[in-house]
Amino acid sequence: MMLGTTPGGGLLAFALALPVLAMLLAFVAGGRQAGRIALVALLAGLVLSLAIATSVLRGGDALVLILGGWAPPLGVALRADGISAVMLLTTSVVMVGTALFAFTSYSGRGGESRASLVFWTLLLGLWGAMNAVLLGNDLFNLYVALELLTFAAMPLVCLDGRAETLAAALRYLFFALLGSLLYLLGVALLYGAYGTLDIVLLSRLARADAPTLVAAALMTAGLLAKTALFPLHLWLPGAHAGAPAAASAVLSALVVKAPFFLVLRLWFGVMPELTTGPAPQILAGLGALAILFGSALALRQARLKLLVAYSTVAQIGYLFLMFPLAGAAGATLAGAWTGGMLQAVSHALAKAAMFLGAGLIAEALGHDRMRDLGGAARLLPMTVVAFGLGGLSLMGLPPSGGFVAKWLLLNAAIETQQWWWGLVLLSGGLLTGGYVFRVLSASMAGPAAAAVAVVSPGRQAVVLVLAILSVVLGLLPLASFGLVQVGRLAP
Amino acid sequence: MSGAWLLDGVLLLAVPAIALASLLSRRVLPALAAFVAYGLLLALVWMRLGAPDVALTEAAVGGGVTGVLLIGAAARLLMPAAAAPPGWPLRLLTALLCLGVTAGLAVAVLALPEPAPTLAPQAAEQLAATQLGNPVAGVLLAFRAIDTLLEAVVLVIAVIGIWGMAPDGAWGGRPGPVQPRLADGSVALLAMLLPPVGIVFGIYLAWVGADAPGGAFQGGSILAAMWILAWLAGLVRPPRIDSLALRLLVVAGPALFMLVGLAGFVVADGFMAYPAAWTKPVILLVEAALTLSIAVALCLLVAGWPMRRARA
Amino acid sequence: MSIASAYGLLGAVLVGLGLYGVVLQAEPLRRILAFNLLGGGIFLLFGVMARRGAGAGFSGDPVPQAIVITGIVVAFAATALAVHLLLRLQAARDEPVPPEEPRA
């Protein structure tokens, strides 16, 4: 059965057209209008992603759009299944929150400034690239989307122009480029072996022969470097901590998830035979090391933004626990799939809140040294509460989204008698609690600190809303997460 | 036939030798020279592999424009203090890793299925509907048009990213270092003689790509090369980055392509589809806009970020 | 061994050489060169797939050829970003960019 455009598939076209046209318009219109164009486009994008999610849920199957009427294998298709829809929605929510947060910082008042033009156009470009990764159904199309994402994200890291952030951006670029090239190498082998790059077609054709296995190894290695899984995480803390707060939020919440999303597509979509056998244990083992080392390093950081960045390194490890736990079909093991996606979504919301909150604290105090954080809680109570709520979700305390995610993964670990991953989950929660409490207790010490700059309550409210969302996710009934199961390519 | 085998044999030996020379050379300029030669040898390899469109792109972009970019950078980059070379354990480990990757690839290449799966027959079948004669153009502008569109967007983002590296005080200025007007010498001569010819050739290459080897990328890169030559000789100055005309030129290609794609919902079968009766004219229009934007973007990517504020 | 396979092995060798340079070259500009060597090897592999797929009157499968053309332009954009970032880093430090110490 060939892929054909499904009703509602046309919506997917706008998920690409809206960001691209908005970015090009913002580039031409200039710095002062760029922010307004971006905000309008992002709000429209939020509505669009809700429409796509509803359509996928109602239809019970993935949305497909054949581009130009040329069907795969010759042509390219876009495909939105349950996990695409969920991540599209998360992307839109985090982007809107970030845009509202950053609206006054990059207003471009007094003529176009470098930072305002670059920030808004690259934010829109980043959004378009995320959508392209989430909807892409063709492996080479996904390569171009990954490069688009890297090129849009890297200049945001060094937006302030300091030597330190420029060096971090260069290191980020090198790791990201190596990752993309290894991925592309695998794509070449897959094309040579199967004559198509369409994910759905490949899932039917894939065999476990030499070219396929070599390709899988290369592509996975490349994607792991891009998603900063231990031990290829060295580039992340400098890059995410060095970026301005709004960019850090998007980088940690969204950009670093895109390669993970593709590993999911590769392992569970194209080559499900990989998910049986020892390979998933290796991935999860690296994930466990990421949780251990990331959390331990976060505990030792002297600066708040670096602490949050190392927390990202740790939390990415949780995502890879999904691989041995969701590796087979079955109702209870569908729980691990849901748990992993829920971890991705709640981490995205919580981490965005934490980075934006850290940014506000740094603005108000004039610095982000952990040692001198005292009084921040009395100065910015909403923000510190938001930080705490985000931390709650990362720790996996009820009733947050993070709790439900880890509970589902724990359940799956027990059901499949892989109790060692359950141990990892529990100890990870303890370690996360360690560095979250470190921040909270540091900020609550002493009388209110002197404010260097005024932080508007509107921006604090945005941070709080993002944090509340990550907690409220856990209150939704489990059935509502059925969306993530839609359109899963069965082995 | 033996002539072809000889050429293949020479290439199979020369290419890795030149790559090795580039890697192992102790000084930067010889490494760069080897790299440019590598690009040109690769163009020959592409001809041997029956891919003239790729050969043109490799020669123009991979060898030519990349070479100019790297040599220009090497001239401006100060030599850092020589660092201690990495210790032999690390070198050995890396060498083993790379050997492993090469071996894995070799095994994979030799284990590829025979007969090779291919999309050539399907491309041949569907090419008539696109009214194009060049199958590669068919893939780039019709079958896999979304890749070309996203790739055009990549160029825009790269331009923005590079401009963003400018110091705040220089924002609004002209990109790149000041190129003094060269009074005489080979560069000045070439810069005066070549561009008129090159521009005509570039436009021709873009135009003819619909039915023969060539296309927007190849033509656009020739056009860019001509401007870059004139710029290096100090004959032209880049426009200010806040110039509306410049920004419109940069976005024209991808914007038009995306709008045509959306128009497909109304006048054709769907997103990125072409109206049946007007396929070739619309494709040529999109290709023209892309050629322009690609040429401008390549020039800007070589020129770089504004270094001084423009005079009012 | 067919000519396509021979060039395929060449591609594998170039990938190995490029990868070696990317990991070990301490000077950033030389590392960028190594990236381009690596890219050339990868594109060559695509070209081999195209040559193997020759048929229907074409000298090669047009799909991988088109992929390489797109890839060459994307690789150039990456090189440009890296090079200008390097120049900017030098300007910010006002001194030569020190080569990165490789992790032992």
For every one of its 491 residues, what pLDDT tens digit does chain A have, with 9 covering 90 and above?
A: 456 788 888 899 999 999 999 999 999 998 779 999 999 999 999 999 999 999 998 888 899 999 998 999 999 999 999 999 999 999 999 999 999 999 988 886 666 789 999 999 999 999 999 999 999 999 999 999 999 999 999 999 999 999 999 999 999 999 999 999 999 999 999 999 999 999 999 999 988 889 999 999 999 999 999 999 999 999 999 999 999 999 999 999 999 999 999 999 999 889 888 887 788 999 999 999 999 999 999 999 999 999 999 999 999 999 999 898 887 545 455 788 899 999 999 999 999 999 999 999 999 998 888 888 888 888 899 999 999 999 999 999 988 889 999 999 998 888 888 888 999 999 999 999 999 999 999 988 888 778 888 888 999 999 999 999 999 988 887 777 788 888 877 64
One-letter identity of residue C78:
A
Asked whether residue B32 is assigned to any structural domain, the reply reads yes
What distance in Å separates residue A132's CA from the closest CA in chain C?
A: 16
Please give the pLDDT value at position A329. 47
Cα angle for residues A381, A382, A387 (degrees, 5° grid): 95
DSSP B275: P
Which chain A residues are within 8 Å of C81, Cβ to Cβ? 151, 154-155, 173
Q: Cβ distance C85 to C74 under 8 Å?
A: no
Q: Which long-range contacts (CB under 8 A, 24 or more apart) does B78-87 make?
A: B78/C90, B78/C95, B78/C96, B79/B28, B79/C96, B80/C27, B80/C96, B80/C97, B80/C98, B80/C99, B81/C96, B81/C98, B83/C26, B83/C27, B83/C98, B83/C99, B83/C101, B85/C26, B86/C24, B86/C26, B86/C102, B86/C104, B87/C104
Tell me, yes or no, whether B258 lies in a domain. yes
User: Which residues of chain A neighbour B166 with C-beta distances below 8 Å?
Assistant: 114
Q: Taking the mean position of all CA atoms in its chain, how far away is CA B194?
A: 20
Same domain, yes or no, for B166 and B304? yes
Is the CB of residue A314 less than 8 Å away from at least one CB of chain B? Answer: no
B93-104: pLDDT as tens digits: 999 999 999 999
pLDDT bin (cut points 50, 70, 90) of residue B275 is very high
C91 in contact with chain A, both atoms CB, cutoff 8 A: no
Distance from CA of A447 to the nearest CA of B (A): 38
Positive/negative CA dihedral, A427, A432, A433, A437: positive
**CB within 8 Å of chain C, chain A residues 230-259:** 234
Tell me the pLDDT tens digit for each residue of B94-130: 999 999 999 999 999 999 998 889 999 999 999 988 8
Q: Is A13 on the interface with B (CB under 8 A)?
A: yes
State whether B158 and B68 are in the same domain.
Answer: no
Alpha carbon distance A334, A338 (integer Å):
6
The verdict on residue B248 lying in a domain is: yes
Specify the length of chain C in residues.
104
Q: How many CB atoms lie within 10 A of CB C103?
A: 9
Residue of C nearest to A186 (CA): C42
For the stretch B150-198, pLDDT in tens is 999 999 999 999 999 999 888 889 999 988 888 778 888 889 899 999 9
B84 belongs to a structural domain: no
Interatomic CA distance for residues B25 and B38, integer angstroms = 14
Give the DSSP H or E segment for A65.
Answer: strand A63-66
Q: Do A167 and C67 touch (CB under 8 A)?
A: no
Amino acid letter, residue C48: V
Chain B positions touching A178 (Cβ under 8 A) are: none
Q: How far, in Å, CA of C31 to CA of C28, rounded?
A: 5
Does B96 fall in a domain? no
Minimal Cα–Cα distance from C78 to chain B, Å? 8
B69 and B145 in one domain? no
Partners of residue C89 in chain A, C-beta under 8 Å: 163, 166-167, 170
**CA-to-CA dists, residue B293 to A314, A449, B143, B152, C82, angstroms:** 42, 52, 21, 8, 21
- Provide the 3-class DSSP secondary structure of residue B136: helix
B119, B167, B250: residue with CB nearest A74: B119
Q: Are the beta carbons of A288 and A317 closer than 8 angstroms?
A: yes
Helix B279-303 × helix B244-267 angle, to 10°:
150
Enter the tokens of residue A12. 């997917």
Nearest to A188 among C45, C86, C103 (CB): C45
Tell whether A188 lies on the interface with C, counting CB pairs under 8 A.
yes
DSSP B173-197: S-BB---PPP-SSHHHHHHHHHHHH
* Residue that finishes a domain, picked among B34, B52, B75: B75
| Chain B nearest C-alpha distance from A478 (Å) | 36
Specify burial of residue A110 (Cβ count, 10 A radius: 0-12, 13-18, 19+).
exposed
Residue C29 corresponds to which tokens in the numbers above?
A: 């500009």
Of B240, B1, C68, give the one whose Cα is nearest residue A185. Answer: C68
SS3 A206: coil
Cβ of C88 within 8 Å of Cβ of A192? The answer is no
Which residues in chain C touch residue B22, judged by CB atoms under 8 angstroms apart?
33, 37
In DSSP notation, chain C reads --HHHHHHHHHHHHHHHHHHHHHH--SHHHHHHHHHHHHHHHHHHHHHHHHHT-BTTBSS-HHHHHHHHHHHHHHHHHHHHHHHHHHHHHHHHTSPPPPPPPP-
Between chains, do A114 and B164 touch, taking CB under 8 Å as contact?
yes
Is B271 in contact with A122 (Cβ distance < 8 A)? no
CA torsion angle for A205, A208, A214, A218 (degrees, to 10)? Answer: 70
Q: Cα–Cα–Cα angle for B140, B144, B149, nearest 5°? A: 70
The model's pTM is 0.96
- Using CA coordinates, name the residue in chain C closest to A145: C74
| Interchain proximity A166–C81, CB inside 8 Å | no
CB contact under 8 A, A195 and C81: no
Do B176 and B296 lie in a common domain?
A: yes
Instruction: Name the 3-class secondary structure at B306.
Output: strand
Which residues from chain C sit within 8 angstroms of residue A144, using beta carbons? 70, 74
What domain count does chain B have? Answer: 2
pLDDT score for A328? 52
Q: How far apart are CA A45 and CA A23, in angstroms?
A: 13
What span, in angstroms and rounded, lies between the C-alpha atoms of B35 and C13? 16
pLDDT at C99: 66
Q: Which of residues 144-163 of A touch C (CB under 8 A)?
A: 144, 147, 151, 154-155, 158, 161-163
Residue-wise pLDDT tens digits, B217-252? 999 999 999 999 999 999 999 999 999 999 999 999
> What b-and-e string marks burial along A132-167, b requiring 16 or more CB atoms within 10 Å of the CB?
bbbbbbbbbbbbbbbbbbbbbbbbbbbbebebebbb
Q: Which residues of chain A lie closer than 8 angstroms to B163, CB-CB?
A: 114, 118
A14 part of contact set with chain C, CB < 8 Å: no
* Burial of B88 (C-beta count, 10 Å sphere; 0-12/13-18/19+): exposed
Using alpha carbons only, what angle is made at residue A135 by residues A3 and A275, rounded to the nearest 5 degrees?
A: 80
Crossing angle (nearest 10°) for helices B28-48 and B66-76: 180
**Does A173 touch chain B if contact means CB atoms closer than 8 Å?**
no
Domain positions in chain A are: 10-485
* CATH class for the domain made up of C3-93: mainly alpha
Give the residue on B whose Cα is nearest the Cα of A125: B157
Distance of CA C14 to the CA centre of its chain: 9
Q: Which helix (H) or strand (E) holds A142?
A: helix A139-157
What is the H or E stretch that residue B255 is in? helix B244-267
Number of residues in chain B: 312
Cross-chain CB nearest to C40 (options B38, B217, B298):
B38
H or E element that contains A78: strand A77-80
Q: Is the Cβ of C21 closer than 8 Å to some Cβ of chain A? A: no
ipTM above 0.85, yes or no: yes
The string of pLDDT tens digits covering residues B49-104 is 999 999 999 999 998 899 999 999 999 987 776 667 778 888 999 999 999 999 99
Residues of C in contact with A168 (CB under 8 A): none
Domain around B28: 1-75
Inter-chain CB proximity B111 and A112 less than 8 Å:
no
Mean per-residue pLDDT over chain B, rounded = 92
Mutate one of C32, C38, C101 to test the A interface: name it (highest A CB count within 10 A): C38
B178 with B249, same domain?
Answer: yes
d(CA C62, CA B120): 6
Q: Are B137 and B71 contained in the same domain? A: no
Q: What is the DSSP letter of B311?
A: P
Mutation test of the interface with chain A: which of B94, B112, B146, B243, choosing the one with the most A Cβ atoms within 10 A?
Answer: B146
Could B120 and C56 be called an inter-chain contact, meaning their C-beta atoms sit closer than 8 Å?
Answer: yes
Query: What 8-state DSSP symbol labels residue A265?
Result: I
Q: If you measure CA to CA, which chain A residue comes closest to B124?
A: A74
Neighbours of chain A (3+ CB pairs under 8 A): B, C
